């Protein structure tokens, strides 16, 4: 139900939600399987970035409603919704969206750090229109990423928008032709692989936590993550490579 493949000389992990017969909707088993994959990704120092996509024409339809009807919810015990929403990986995660990303599919995108979507993609949180509520992070993560009133309209009406609108608002990083989402996501992944892994991990953590910090606190709180970079061998290698006009050889420490 969750497929994995190493790309970019083994430094990128391509994760595929493989439930095309259910439009890649999540039940409990799928969520637990994705949690296990995310755990392995975070623990493997040779992996620097991950891309998540869906098999077939849909990224993810969200919660498997047939499973939900019998109490089988698409959540894991530790990482929460879909095995990733409550506790995303410490390393970068890119959504490669072919087809629609609605409801939990949209919230899965919001748990990622970067989003690549196609010109045919629609995105939204339609729960309210079905007398449901988006409890996978959509109602508090979406207003942080797009204008507040637009997020409110999406939440209250349930109507989706084309990915081109989310690209205009900055939520979608790359808008590409149909069939090219994974390729474009891997191009972004290659840029991340080229950067220093210790610095990438710390930078992600600081950006993610920045919404929790007032400016006067952020100066010292960021150092909880930045100090490891300043003390790293990679920092010295980065400076040397710049001075010597050569490609850096990162050690990840």
Q: Annotated catalytic sites, by residue?
A: 107, 127
Edge-to-edge strands, sheet with 114-118:
2-7, 12-17, 49-54, 93-97, 114-118, 174-176
Q: Which residues pair with 52 in a beta bridge?
A: 15, 95
Nearest to 125 by CA among 177, 189, 171: 171
Provide CB contacts within 8 A for 132, sequence distance 6+: none
CA Rg, the chain, in Å? Answer: 19
Nearest to 193 by CA among 252, 152, 143, 136: 252
Provide CB contacts within 8 A for 229, sequence distance 6+: 196, 198, 199, 202, 235
Cα separation, 16 vs 22, in Å, equals 14
Determine contact, residues 30/19, Cβ cutoff 8 Å.
yes
């Amino acid at each position: 139900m969750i497929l994995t493949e190493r790309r970019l000389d083994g430094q990128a992990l391509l994760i595929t939600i493989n439930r095309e017969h259910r439009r890649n909707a999540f039940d409990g088993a799928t969520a637990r399987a994705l949690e296990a994959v995310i755990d392995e990704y975070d623990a493997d120092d040779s992996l620097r970035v991950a891309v998540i996509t869906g098999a077939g024409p849909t990224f993810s339809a969200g919660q498997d409603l047939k499973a939900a009807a019998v109490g089988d919810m698409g959540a894991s015990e530790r990482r929460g919704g879909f095995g990733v929403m409550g506790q995303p990986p410490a390393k970068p995660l890119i959504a490669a969206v072919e087809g629609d990303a609605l409801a939990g599919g949209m919230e899965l995108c919001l748990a990622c750090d970067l989003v690549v979507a196609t010109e045919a993609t629609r995105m939204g949180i339609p729960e309210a229109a079905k007398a449901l509520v988006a409890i996978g992070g959509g109602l508090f993560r979406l207003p942080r990423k797009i204008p507040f009133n637009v997020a409110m309209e999406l939440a209250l009406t349930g109507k989706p928008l084309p990915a081109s609108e989310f690209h205009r608002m900055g939520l979608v990083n790359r808008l590409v032709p149909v069939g090219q989402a994974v390729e474009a996501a891997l191009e972004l992944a290659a840029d991340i692989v080229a950067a220093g892994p210790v610095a990438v991990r710390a930078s992600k953590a600081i950006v993610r936590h920045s919404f929790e910090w007032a400016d006067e606190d952020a100066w010292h709180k960021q150092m909880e993550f930045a100090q490891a970079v300043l003390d790293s061998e990679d920092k010295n290698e980065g400076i040397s490579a710049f001075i010597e006009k050569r490609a850096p050889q990162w050690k990840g420490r």
